[in-house]
């Protein structure tokens, strides 16, 4: 099905009152959660996963997409008014945004972030609609061997290419792979890594792990070095952009969107790289008379560009998730597990077998995007009030929801022990700068990769060379090796060339 | 080397992390070895991938330990270097909150256990008004209970208060 007729069908299904209601609820919840410092869309969708038992798939995914887009809008509000980026993609927004707020320009910063998110969301969603089907056509030609190589590439890029250190990123990934191995092996029925504990036969639940990493670990880490004191929420001022502000924002919005989207589509994940690139680009491209505002009073270009890049990259992540079934961010991994709980396996077949669901989901992304830009600015006073929830009550509340979300899985105290135990590991991961997203990605993608590996080797009758004799598979593996070794070789080359 | 490290020697802490990962890898190798052999024929059995992941974790653990012995990576983490000293009071109260939840949830039910946890976590983060926290805590936990059990249809188990509702 081509994009136009797909979208027509999708909008037809998404524009029913009940589905619009799901979208609105998702946008509202997502923004509120995105505004709260320290928690994000992955945790929210994980806690909302029980919805999948009660609601049909379309409604649930419209809700999740609303949360996904909403949390990105909300995140920028926090970085601007509080100077505490809620997630890694907002760090750059906080740089200039918080400076603008300190100089009484919080209003324009919030508007440029919101409109920039809308522009980026639109570019990103258009990208999903038109690039998605093309990727699907290519993906249908891939066999298990190519799939396994693609997953290896994905593992390398999400853990070793971005972030501080390949060693630490890969360790996080390995931890996730181990968690994914726990339970009964589907092919042979053997219990694996259960240490004789019957509760572990069903495997470790992904909701439990996400909640432990993103809620319990975060709370423990905050308590570890807690110093009492209040954070100041900057006043919003007038929500209005002058003509100059508009003129200065349009370029960065578009550049940020077109820079961010490809980063999301490539199985690289991560929003740090595109937001940083956008920031440096805008710093270079800014008119000389405004250059002095960067890093001092706050330049609007430095909010508009990175914020657009952040949202476009996050939207781009949906392309590999929907077309290949490869999650490259923690949120995408949780959404993938939601598909699995409906018995749907995302991948190239999704666009043909579940065409109605996919196109309704994509249409609801357009709807959520419009809802968010309309809702957000008028409601910004409400979001600012959410920021004023005192730290003790906020984190006590987060733990209550973390506990009920985990206990609800199977009413087992063993799950709570696991939740708090993995939470303690997550606290140390935060302290020692181990990324947490690869854990969730490894846990979801690991079992899929193992299945692809075994299928490929069954087809080749146990011949491991199948991965390097099939040209596409070999190409992907070379790419993965280059992604792993490339940055280090480049650094070495630069060091040897530098005059002593 | 005459470098001084704040917080009592971070390379040692980094080494601890490296050894922990190494231990985790060895544990995974043991668990992979303990998987019973399958009577079913398969090109790749149930053990291959666990062995592989365990071995990778061992290699990574050795790598992290080696990096720690060369001075560690913590000194490059600004956030960790500028962090205030460990707040034992906050960690202790928070830990107590988690233990209370584990000990009481099956016995008294979610609402009561979580309310006690709520008050303890609030005081961990410096709240000085336990009675007010208790009141807010009851509202929050009841709200969470009703949202999950009624709206999402999740079974949160039976408890003293849940039986009345």
What is the rounded CA–CA span in Å between residue A267 and residue A449?
A: 15
User: How far apart, in Å, are the Cα atoms of A152 and each of A32, A337, A349, A467, B57?
Assistant: 36, 19, 21, 11, 16
> A372 is written with which tokens?
């968010």
pLDDT for the residue A174: 96
DSSP-assigned letters across all residues of B63-120: HHHHHHHTT-SGGG-HHHHSPPPP-HHHHHHHHHHHHHHHHHHHHH-HHHHHHHHHHH
Strand partners, A191: A184
Q: Which residues of B touch A403 (CB under 8 A)?
A: 101, 105, 110, 114, 117
Query: pLDDT category, B1, cuts 50, 70, 90?
Result: very low
Roughly how many angstroms between the first and final C-alpha of chain B, as a whole number? 66
Strand partners, A183: A192
pLDDT (tens digit per residue) in A165-178: 889 999 999 999 99
What is the rounded CA–CA span in Å between residue A110 and residue A239?
A: 7
Averaging pLDDT over each range in A34-38, A52-56, A214-218, B43-47, which range is the top one? Answer: A214-218
pLDDT (tens digit per residue) in A47-73: 888 888 888 899 999 999 999 999 888
Please judge whether A433 and B73 are an interchain contact, meaning their C-beta atoms are less than 8 angstroms apart.
yes
> A297 is written with which tokens?
């009073």
pLDDT for the residue A16: 92
Please judge whether B17 and A408 are an interchain contact, meaning their C-beta atoms are less than 8 angstroms apart.
no
Please judge whether B127 and A393 are an interchain contact, meaning their C-beta atoms are less than 8 angstroms apart.
yes
Q: Is the pLDDT of residue A113 over 70?
A: yes
Q: Minimal Cα distance from A401: which residue of B?
A: B144
- Whether residue B46 contacts residue B21, with contact meaning beta carbons closer than 8 Å, is answered with no
Please judge whether B44 and A453 are an interchain contact, meaning their C-beta atoms are less than 8 angstroms apart.
yes
3-state SS assignment for residue A26: helix
pLDDT for the residue A171: 95
Where would I find the beta strands (DSSP E) of A137-271? 183-184, 191-192
B153 touches chain A (CB under 8 A): yes
pLDDT for the residue B42: 62
Q: Count the Cβ atoms, other than its own, within 10 Å of residue B60.
A: 25
Q: Is the pLDDT of residue A491 over 80?
A: no
Residue in B25, B56, B101 closest to A403 by CB: B101
Question: What phi and psi values does residue A184 have, to the nearest 5 degrees?
Answer: -75, 130
> A69 is written with which tokens?
């887009």
A57-82 and A355-376 helices, crossing angle to 10°: 30
Q: Is the pLDDT of residue B155 over 90?
A: no
What is the rounded CA–CA span in Å between residue B111 and residue B105?
A: 8
pLDDT (tens digit per residue) in A94-112: 888 888 988 888 889 999 9
Q: Count the Cβ atoms, other than its own, within 10 Å of residue B96.
A: 16
Sign of CA dihedral A191, A197, A199, A200: negative
pLDDT for the residue A288: 84
- Whether residue A419 contacts residue A212, with contact meaning beta carbons closer than 8 Å, is answered with yes
Q: Complex ipTM, two decimals?
A: 0.90
Query: pLDDT category, A263, cuts 50, 70, 90?
Result: confident
pLDDT for the residue B161: 74
Q: Is the pLDDT of residue B40 over 70?
A: no
- B:90-149 residues touching chain A, CB 8 A cutoff: 90-91, 94, 97-98, 101-102, 105-106, 110, 114, 117-119, 121-127, 133, 136-137, 140-141, 144-145, 148
Q: Is the pLDDT of residue A489 over 80?
A: no
What is the rounded CA–CA span in Å between residue A310 and residue B134?
A: 40
Q: Which residues of B touch A453 (CB under 8 A)?
A: 44, 49
The domain tally of chain A equals: 1
| Average of per-residue pLDDT across A473-478 | 92
pLDDT for the residue A335: 92
What is the rounded CA–CA span in Å between residue A147 and residue A131?
A: 19
Q: Which domain holds residue A105?
A: 3-497
A301-316 and A106-139 helices, crossing angle to 10°: 30
| Average of per-residue pLDDT across B37-42 | 66
Query: pLDDT category, A141, cuts 50, 70, 90?
Result: confident
pLDDT (tens digit per residue) in B66-97: 999 988 888 888 778 888 888 899 999 999 99
- Whether residue A41 contacts residue A31, with contact meaning beta carbons closer than 8 Å, is answered with no
Q: Is the pLDDT of residue A439 over 60?
A: yes
Closest chain B C-alpha to A226 CA, distance in angstroms: 6
Question: Worst-scoring range by mean pLDDT, A78-87, A406-415, A433-442, B77-86?
Answer: A78-87
Query: pLDDT category, B10, cuts 50, 70, 90?
Result: low
Question: What phi and psi values does residue A183 have, to the nearest 5 degrees?
Answer: 120, -170
pLDDT for the residue A173: 95
A485 touches chain B (CB under 8 A): no
A459 touches chain B (CB under 8 A): no
């Amino acid at each position: 099905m081509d994009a136009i007729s797909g979208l027509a069908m999708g909008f037809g299904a998404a524009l029913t009152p009940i589905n619009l209601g799901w979208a609105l609820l998702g946008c509202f919840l997502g923004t509120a959660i995105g505004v709260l410092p320290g928690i994000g869309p992955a945790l929210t969708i994980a806690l909302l996963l029980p919805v999948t038992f009660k609601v049909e798939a379309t409604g649930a995914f419209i809700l999740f997409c609303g949360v996904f887009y909403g949390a990105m809008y909300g995140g920028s509000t926090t970085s601007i008014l509080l100077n505490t980026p809620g997630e890694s993609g907002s760090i750059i927004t906080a740089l200039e945004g918080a400076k603008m707020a300190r100089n009484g320009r919080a209003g324009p910063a919030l508007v440029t972030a919101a409109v920039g998110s809308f522009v980026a969301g639109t570019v990103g969603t258009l990208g999903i609609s038109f690039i998605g089907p093309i990727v699907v056509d290519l993906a249908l030609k891939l066999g298990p061997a190519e799939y396994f190589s693609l997953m290896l590439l994905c593992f390398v890029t999400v853990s070793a290419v971005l972030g501080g250190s390949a060693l630490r990123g890969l360790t996080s990934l390995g931890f996730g792979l181990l968690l994914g191995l726990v339970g009964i092996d589907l092919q042979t029925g053997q219990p694996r890594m259960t240490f004789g504990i019957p509760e572990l036969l069903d495997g470790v639940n992904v909701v439990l792990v996400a909640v432990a990493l993103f809620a319990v670990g975060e709370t423990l880490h905050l308590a570890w070095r807690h110093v009492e004191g209040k954070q100041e929420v900057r006043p919003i001022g007038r929500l209005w952009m002058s003509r100059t502000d508009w003129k200065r924002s349009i370029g960065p919005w578009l550049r940020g969107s077109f820079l961010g989207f490809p980063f999301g589509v490539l199985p690289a994940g991560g929003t740090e790289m595109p937001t940083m690139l956008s920031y440096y680009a805008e710093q270079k491209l800014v008119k000389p008379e405004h250059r002095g505002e960067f890093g001092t009073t706050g330049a609007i270009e430095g909010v508009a560009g990175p914020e657009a890049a952040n949202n476009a990259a996050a939207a781009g992540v949906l392309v590999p998730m929907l077309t290949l079934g490869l999650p490259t961010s923690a949120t995408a991994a949780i959404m993938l597990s939601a598909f699995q709980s409906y018995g749907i396996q995302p991948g190239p077949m999704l666009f043909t077998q579940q065409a109605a669901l996919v196109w309704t989901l994509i249409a609801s992304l357009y709807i959520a995007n419009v809802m968010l830009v309309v809702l957000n600015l008028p409601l910004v006073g409400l979001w600012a009030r959410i920021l004023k929830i005192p730290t003790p009550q906020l984190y006590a509340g987060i733990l209550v929801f973390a506990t009920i979300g985990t206990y609800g899985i199977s009413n087992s105290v063993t799950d709570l022990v696991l939740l708090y135990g993995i939470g303690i590991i997550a606290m140390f991961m935060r302290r020692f700068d181990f990324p947490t997203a690869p854990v969730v990605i490894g846990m979801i993608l690991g079992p899929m990769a193992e299945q692809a590996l075994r299928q490929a080797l069954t087809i080749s009758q146990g011949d491991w060379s199948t991965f390097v004799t099939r040209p596409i598979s070999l190409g992907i593996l070379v790419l993965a090796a280059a992604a792993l070794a490339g940055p280090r070789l480049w650094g070495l080359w630069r060091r040897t060339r530098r005059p002593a | 080397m005459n470098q001084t490290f704040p917080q009592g020697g971070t390379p040692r802490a980094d080494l601890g992390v490296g050894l922990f990962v190494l231990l985790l890898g060895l544990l995974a190798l043991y668990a992979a070895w303990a998987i019973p052999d399958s009577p079913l024929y398969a090109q790749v059995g149930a053990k291959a991938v666990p062995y592989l992941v365990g071995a990778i974790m061992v290699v990574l653990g050795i790598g992290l330990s080696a990096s720690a012995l060369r001075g560690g990576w913590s000194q490059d983490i600004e956030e960790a270097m500028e962090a205030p000293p460990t707040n034992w009071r906050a960690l202790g109260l928070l830990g107590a909150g988690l233990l209370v939840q584990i000990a009481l949830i099956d016995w008294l039910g979610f609402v009561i256990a979580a309310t006690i946890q709520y008050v303890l976590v609030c005081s961990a983060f410096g709240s000085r008004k336990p009675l007010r926290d208790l009141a807010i805590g009851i509202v929050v936990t009841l709200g969470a209970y009703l949202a999950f059990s009624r709206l999402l249809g999740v079974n949160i188990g039976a408890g003293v208060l849940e039986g009345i509702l």
